[in-house]
Amino acid sequence: MGPISHSINFLEELQKSVGLFAPETALTVTFLLAIVADLIFRRSRNVTGFIALLGFIATGALLMSNSSTSAFAFNSTYAIDPFANFFKLLILITSYLIVVISFFSAELYHGNRKLGEYYTLIIGMTFGMFILCSSTNLIMIYIGIEAMSLCSYVLSGYTKEIRRSSEASLKYVIYGAVSSGIMIYGISLIYGLTGHLGLAEINHSLNVANLDHITLLVSGMMIIAGFAYKISAVPFHFWTPDVYEGAPVTITAFLSVASKAAGFAALIRFFKVVFAAVPAQGSIPDATWNMLGSIDWRIVIAILSVLTMTLGNLVALKQTNVKRLLAYSSIAHAGYMLMGVTVMSEIGVQSVLVYLVAYMFMNLGAFYVVMQYANLIGSEELEDYTGIGYRAPVLGICMVIFLVSLLGFPSTVGFIGKLYIFSAVLSFAGKNGQNFYWLAIMGVINSAISAYFYIKIVRNMFVRGAEFDKEKFKLSPESLVVALIIVIPTLYFGLFPGAVIRWAETSLKILVGN
Amino acid sequence: MQNFLGLGPLTWITFLPLLGMIIIFLIPSGKDEKGKETSKQLFRWVTIGFTFLQLIIAIGIYLNYTAGMTGINVEGGFQFREHYNWFTVTGLPMFGNVKVDYFVGIDGISAPMILLTAIVCFVASFASFSIKKQIKGYFAMYLLLDLGMMGVFISLDFFLFYVFWELMLLPMYFLIGIWGGPRKEYAAIKFFIYTLVGSVFMLLVIIGLYFGVHSFNMLDMMDPLKYDPTSIFAPGHGWWRNVAFFALFVGFAIKVPSVPFHTWLPDAHVEAPTPISVILAGVLLKMGTYGMLRINWPMFPDSVKYFQCFIAWVGTVSILYGALCALGQFKVGKRDFKKLIAYSSVSHMGYVVLGMSSMNSSGMSGAIFQMFNHGTITSMLFIIVGVIYDRAHTRGLDDFGGLANKMPIYTGIMAIAFFAAIGLPGMSGFVSEMMIFLGAFMAYPILTVISGLGIILGAAYMLWALQKVFFGKLPDRWSGPWDPTHKIYKTDDINAVELAALIPLAILIIGLGIYPAPMFNMMNATVNHLVEFVRIGGGF
Amino acid sequence: MLTDFGIILIFFIVGVLFVAAGLFVSSLIRPSHPNKIKNSTYECGEEPIGSPWIKFNIRYYVVALMFLLFEVEIVFLFPWTVVFKQLGWYAFSSMAVFMVILVFGLAYVWGKGDLEWDKPKPYIPKLEDFVDMKD
């Protein structure tokens, strides 16, 4: 093969890849347009936001149009498969809602702050998360994480005149740098061990060679640390409460949903492609993955999961700031989702997907109401919520629905998520009679513990302060419409979860091998 | 009975309150210039109207009920069945198909409960006249609670059952928490957490059972042939089945409540407003024992036998401990009338558990009848306490005395309730307790004799309370009229609204005490079937 | 015939000569007034000798970032020029898109005023600023 034909092949590969890369390209174009628009329309503060919304719609259309595609791009460093597509769509919906919600934020629109960069960076972060969802190469994963992180560092400190916010940003950068360092060290160890960076190639090496046990364990743990940081799993959660409390509410919501989703996408892909044995050509793949190597990664994740949910729930019990409380609750939810990862099977993955959809609605909703309340009373302290349910009844009822959904109450979408996660854990039957009944029991105990602090918010909103007859707040109809837009799916999918389950089920296909 | 608008009577009776709730939400709680809510009466009458409609349907169901049909694990034995697909998702990994049905129907166990719920909700809506703040929210929550309770008793799909079971938690939390007494927050959260802990384990068992039969249909879960032999709760996996039975039993026992899970009940009762105490004692507690009969007994007949003696002990301990606690109201601390009745509920529900543990027809049907009777009798008692509490703003037993002179009609009504609670012959409570003791004596003679002490203790605390409050000398502080301005209470004695709540209950209590046959006719076939089913072990 | 390395050698020699000639010619023409500052080593306008623990003006970083950006662009351009002819219009348009994106970046930096090198007007904090602070 001469150099010319080689370069022509390369060109063909590139052309094919660019076609598959269309949604990401659309995001990039949106990003550029937003920058230019920000330069041209100096007076307007919302124009970048509207461009972002339009761009997200276009991206969504492109994603939908190739939703069933399964192909590798860019020399097998990038997988376009239904699994990635699911996460991209989820992230896109989240980004869309976050931009919409941001329009209502008094905190962001305080004074005459310029918001061009704010919306632009949201687009940038979405792009980074897209990369993370699809990467099948450790370096690509790293680039995705960094692209996403860099934007989120800036965004979490966007209200820079508020000390808390600057502090949050700085802490985020420092912890982020440490975890990226650990992860890249793990990557280098894996590379040293196998000589490969592509996930599929590493899988192949694991299959054929007997690799050093300890090195593999250490490097694997280091890479997991990088993902665990993104999904805020214990013991890599330290940044979460401070950043969630300090960042603008909209960004807190964004980090807690989208960035967590992207982290899970990468984590699941990493485990499936690297450690699950590739079924022989033409055979029906096992519903439960056959893990390679002598290390029991299920136990590792199970322990991570128990630690995460227990710590998240126990510490949340004592919180007095609602944002901080929801931060710990989001740590706990990461723990629940890790339960789904633990079993490392198709149904486990599906349960995580279902849970993420549920989590997206209910968590975004809860943060939206927190933001609206902050607009009204200028505080996120639990104490100041006394009787607020009577002063803004519609929002109050919505908040109750979101909170009981987070708690996993039947007839809300959160219940479907929990049901699926527990089902996945209970259905697991490994070799040698391994089962995870204890994990499910830990899960339900945690879910009962969590009732206390979710109900604590409800208590302050409704049970306390029913006596005072304070004036009612006037809310704009649009802000109520947004609340309803989030509350309706929370209830609808709780009663008729068919669509969510079906969507998750068709998105299980993860591309493995070449 | 005819379907109306394509929906059967059970759907109507369950979802009517939802309709009422929506209507209440739509009515603006208009305020006049003095800040007084103008729609107050409207909310009350909408609620009374809807609960009355429910009662009419319940009576219709009763009149059209065919005695002699079995139910339990025979789909054909259920009446007023409605079976629609709720949602189906096919071709899933592991799950295969997820199919959840809207499957409702009643048999001899649930029919009395439906009647009871309709009666108690109707009666308690009259007692709700004493609620003064946030009327709109109160009645909306009240109706939602009504929906949840009704739903639990009609569901034959475990998923549906769980949805209703949990659904009723939240309105109950609000009703105790917002409209309760001084320690309402504590009582409400305690109730919430206790019940939730019980129900999350139930959820795990539901999932485990689902993997066995690949359906949420309760009747399938009672059929050993439908189980996947490798699944965790399949026939033969005795240890796991016992674990599941125990988890469910604890979940239900919390609701009953049986000792040692009873501690939430006195708190909840003391703090809850009168109508909510009525519903709590009248219906909610029955959901626990109903759950055992509907789920534990037929789904795990093998484990029931294994735990039979244990359950009998739980019943006996509850009877005695509850009675002693009630009696303890005369010894230590604040002597609270309402707490007394709350503990008497623990004791009386202990009879139900004891009766169910007997595994014979008379014990079982006695237990179900006792559920119904306890519902009516305790509702009456709580309304009675509410009557004086609304007037005197205290429930201390020591604060009263000689009320018989001041309130003769009230005293008369109250005497009926007290003697029914003691189990005086001629009252419904006597019949059911006698049946329970008959049945339990056949199975566990010694335990039954010990439990008999409960009756004596019950008589002691009830008569003591009667004496304290109604006889003796009227304290000087109550010598004047309750309400000197006659703004709320025209006379010193009980008023018409309160009578409207009490009289139907009194009639039921005496009527069923003299002629209990209609109740037994309703449940005999089902109970016999259940007893036989458990006796042969259901094939497990 | 020269080998490929021979060509490189000639290229190298010509390069050295070119620079040397330039320096030599300019030294003939230019006026020569050396002083202490002119003779010191040039280090981006900073004092070349002394403690390295001095505060750099933050604008340097902005400029350095910009510089890096366009420097990296050259790295991408070099391999492209080599194969440009064989790959044709597709390669050309790809690189054009890349350049346009960079130009957007430049325009953004320019538009936001980050290329202005004005004197800083430091804000000296007053007592009230700290009193009013919430946390």
CA–CA separation, B299 vs B306, rounded Å? Answer: 13
Query: Is residue A185 one of the residues assigned to a domain?
Result: yes
- Whether A102 and A40 share a structural domain: yes
Query: Is residue A375 one of the residues assigned to a domain?
Result: yes
CA–CA separation, C77 vs C108, rounded Å? Answer: 22
CA–CA separation, B352 vs B419, rounded Å? Answer: 19
Give B419 to chain A, closest Cα distance, Å: 37
Q: Is the pLDDT of residue A1 over 50?
A: no
Q: Is the pLDDT of residue B85 over 60?
A: yes
Query: Is residue A361 one of the residues assigned to a domain?
Result: yes
Q: What is the number of H-type helices and E-type strands within chain A?
A: 21, 2
- Whether A247 and A311 share a structural domain: no
Q: Which residues contact A336 (CB under 8 A, 6 or more apart)?
A: A305, A309, A355, A417, A418, A421, A443, A446, A447
Q: Is the pLDDT of residue B126 over 90?
A: no
Query: Is residue A1 one of the residues assigned to a domain?
Result: no
* Bond prior to A489 in cis (omega within 30° of 0): no
Q: Which residue has the tokens 């304070």?
A: A470
CB contact under 8 A, C108 and A39: yes
Label residue C124 by pLDDT band (50, 70, 90): confident
Q: Do residues C109 and C66 touch, judged by C-beta distance below 8 A?
A: yes
Closest CA relative to residue B113, chosen from B184, B164, B175: B164
Query: Is residue A3 one of the residues assigned to a domain?
Result: no
Average pLDDT estimate for B44-58: 92
Average pLDDT estimate for B454-471: 87
- Whether A241 and A338 share a structural domain: no
Q: What is the pLDDT of residues B430-444, one digit of tens each?
A: 999 999 999 999 999
Q: Is the pLDDT of residue A396 over 50?
A: yes
CB contact under 8 A, C101 and A35: no
- Whether A314 and A167 share a structural domain: no
Q: Is the pLDDT of residue B94 over 60?
A: no
Average pLDDT estimate for B194-213: 90
Q: Which of A5, A8, A11, A380 to probe by mutation at the C interface, max C CB count within 10 Å?
A: A11
CB contact under 8 A, B203 and A496: no
Q: Which residue has the tokens 């979490």?
A: A156
Average pLDDT estimate for A484-494: 94
Structural domain of A383: 280-514
Give B302 to chain A, closest Cα distance, Å: 23
Label residue A491 by pLDDT band (50, 70, 90): very high
Name the burial class of residue C63, with classes exposed (0-12), middle (13-18) and buried (19+) by CB atoms within 10 angstroms of its CB. Answer: middle
Domain boundary residue, one of A232, A252, A275: A275
B165 neighbourhood in chain A, CB within 8 Å:
410
Label residue B465 by pLDDT band (50, 70, 90): confident
Closest CA relative to residue B365, chosen from B251, B518, B505: B518
Higher-pLDDT residue of B246, A112: B246
Question: Which phi and psi angles does B35 have, rounded to 5°?
Answer: 80, 15
Q: What is the pLDDT of residues A51-70, one digit of tens each?
A: 999 999 999 999 998 888 88
CA atoms within 13 A on the CB side of B220: 20
CB contact under 8 A, A36 and C101: no
Question: Which phi and psi angles does A72 have, rounded to 5°?
Answer: -95, 150
Residue B339 tokens, joined? 């707490």
Label residue A137 by pLDDT band (50, 70, 90): very high
Q: Do residues A418 and A432 touch, judged by C-beta distance below 8 A?
A: no
Pairing of strands B96-106, B79-92: antiparallel
Instruction: Provide the pLDDT for residue C1.
Output: 66
Residue B126 tokens, joined? 């009259």
Domain boundary residue, one of A244, A275, A306: A275
Strands of B93-232, DSSP E: 96-106
Q: Is the pLDDT of residue C38 over 50?
A: yes
- Whether A254 and A304 share a structural domain: no
Label residue A286 by pLDDT band (50, 70, 90): low
Instruction: Provide the pLDDT for residue B60.
Output: 92
The answer to whether A488 contacts chain B (CB < 8 Å) is: no
CB contact under 8 A, A4 and C111: no
DSSP conformational letter for A279: P
* Structural domains counted in chain A: 2
Average pLDDT estimate for B123-135: 86
Q: How many residues appear in chain B? A: 540
Instruction: Provide the pLDDT for residue B330.
Output: 64
Query: Is residue A105 one of the residues assigned to a domain?
Result: yes
The answer to whether A163 contacts chain C (CB < 8 Å) is: yes
- Any idea which of A257-261, B188-192, B415-419, B465-469 has the lowest mean pLDDT? B465-469
Instruction: Provide the pLDDT for residue B143.
Output: 94
- Whether A64 and A180 share a structural domain: yes
- Which residue in the set A400, A426, A445 is minimally distant from B208, CB to CB? A426
The ipTM, to two decimals, is: 0.91
Q: What is the pLDDT of residues B1-45, one digit of tens each?
A: 667 777 888 999 999 999 999 999 888 876 655 656 667 788 888
- Any idea which of A359-368, A421-430, C9-18 has the lowest mean pLDDT? A421-430
CA–CA separation, A30 vs A55, rounded Å? Answer: 5
Beta partners for B157?
Answer: B217
**Residue B50 is inside which H or E element, if any?**
helix B40-64
Measured CA distances, A496 to A87, A265, A410, B89, B309 (Å): 21, 25, 11, 10, 42
Alpha helix positions (H), A317-392: 322-342, 346-377, 388-391
CA–CA separation, A38 vs B519, rounded Å? Answer: 77
Question: Which phi and psi angles does B434 have, rounded to 5°?
Answer: -65, -45
Highest mean pLDDT among A47-61, B30-44, B120-134, B456-470: A47-61
CB contact under 8 A, B167 and A423: no
CA–CA separation, B160 vs B11, rounded Å? Answer: 13
- Whether A397 and A309 share a structural domain: yes
Q: What is the pLDDT of residues B473-496, one digit of tens each?
A: 887 777 777 776 766 676 777 888
Average pLDDT estimate for A100-104: 93
Closest CA relative to residue A131, chosen from A73, A177, A182: A73
Mean pLDDT of chain A: 89
Alpha helix positions (H), C45-123: 59-87, 89-111
Closest CA relative to residue B414, chosen from B375, B348, B467: B467
Q: How many residues appear in chain A? A: 514
Instruction: Provide the pLDDT for residue B439.
Output: 92
Whether the CA torsion A496, A497, A500, A501 is positive or negative: it is negative
Question: Which phi and psi angles does B424 have, rounded to 5°?
Answer: -70, 135
Name the burial class of residue B283, with classes exposed (0-12), middle (13-18) and buried (19+) by CB atoms within 10 angstroms of its CB. Answer: buried
CA–CA separation, B13 vs B245, rounded Å? Answer: 31
Whether the CA torsion A39, A43, A45, A46 is positive or negative: it is negative
Residue A31 tokens, joined? 């990003």
CB contact under 8 A, A444 and B93: no
Residue in chain B nearest A463 by alpha carbon: B178
Q: Which residues contact A502 (CB under 8 A, 6 or more apart)?
A: B89
**Residue A126 is inside which H or E element, if any?**
helix A116-134
Measured CA distances, A477 to A370, A401, A481, A482, B253 (Å): 17, 19, 6, 9, 47
Instruction: Provide the pLDDT for residue C39.
Output: 81
CA–CA separation, A313 vs A291, rounded Å? Answer: 31
Q: What is the pLDDT of residues B264-308, one digit of tens each?
A: 998 899 889 999 999 999 999 999 999 999 999 999 998 998 999
B88 neighbourhood in chain A, CB within 8 Å:
498
Q: What is the pLDDT of residues A335-382, one digit of tens each?
A: 999 999 998 888 899 999 999 999 999 999 999 999 999 999 888 899
Instruction: Provide the pLDDT for residue B59.
Output: 93
Average pLDDT estimate for A94-109: 93
Domain boundary residue, one of A229, A257, A275: A275
Which amino acid is located at A478 in the chain? E
C107 neighbourhood in chain A, CB within 8 Å:
36, 39
Query: Is residue A5 one of the residues assigned to a domain?
Result: no
Q: Which residues contact B210 (CB under 8 A, 6 or more apart)?
A: A423, B158, B216
Mean pLDDT of chain B: 87
Q: Is the pLDDT of residue A155 over 70?
A: yes
Residue B318 tokens, joined? 């509850």
- Whether A125 and A244 share a structural domain: yes
Instruction: Provide the pLDDT for residue A465.
Output: 78
Query: B11-31 burial by CB neighbour count: b if 16+ within 10 A, else e?
Result: bbbbebbeebbebbeeeebee
- Whether A460 and A316 share a structural domain: yes
Beta partners for B217?
Answer: B157
Instruction: Provide the pLDDT for residue A8.
Output: 67
Give C59 to chain A, closest Cα distance, Å: 19
- Whether A357 and A428 share a structural domain: yes
Label residue B136 by pLDDT band (50, 70, 90): confident
Highest mean pLDDT among A275-279, A285-289, A445-449, C101-105: A445-449
Chains with 3 or more CB pairs under 8 A to chain A: B, C
CA atoms within 13 A on the CB side of B115: 25
Q: Which residue has the tokens 């009527």?
A: B511
CA–CA separation, B295 vs A66, rounded Å? Answer: 48
- Any idea which of A56-70, B148-162, B332-346 has the lowest mean pLDDT? B332-346
DSSP conformational letter for A289: -
CA A279 to chain centre: 29
A347 neighbourhood in chain B, CB within 8 Å:
92-95
- Any idea which of A27-31, A436-440, A448-452, C131-135 has the lowest mean pLDDT? C131-135
Instruction: Provide the pLDDT for residue B354.
Output: 93
Q: DSSP secondary structure string, B503-533?
A: HHHHHHHHHHHH--HHHHHHHHHHHHHHHHH
- Cβ-based contacts under 8 A for chains A and C: 26
- Which residue in the set A423, A451, A466 is minimally distant from B178, CB to CB? A466
Name the burial class of residue A438, with classes exposed (0-12), middle (13-18) and buried (19+) by CB atoms within 10 angstroms of its CB. Answer: exposed
CA–CA separation, C31 vs B407, rounded Å? Answer: 124
- Whether A43 and A118 share a structural domain: yes
Number of other residues whose CB lies within 10 A of the CB of residue B517:
9
- Whether A507 and A432 share a structural domain: yes
CA–CA separation, C37 vs B168, rounded Å? Answer: 86
Q: Which residue has the tokens 């009920």?
A: B65
Chains with 3 or more CB pairs under 8 A to chain B: A
DSSP conformational letter for B130: G
Q: DSSP secondary structure string, A450-495?
A: HHHHHHHHHIIIIITTSS--PPPPP--HHHHHHHHHHHHHHHHHHH
Q: Do residues B261 and B117 touch, judged by C-beta distance below 8 A?
A: no
- Please, what is the angle between helix A163-194 and helix A138-156, to 10°? 170
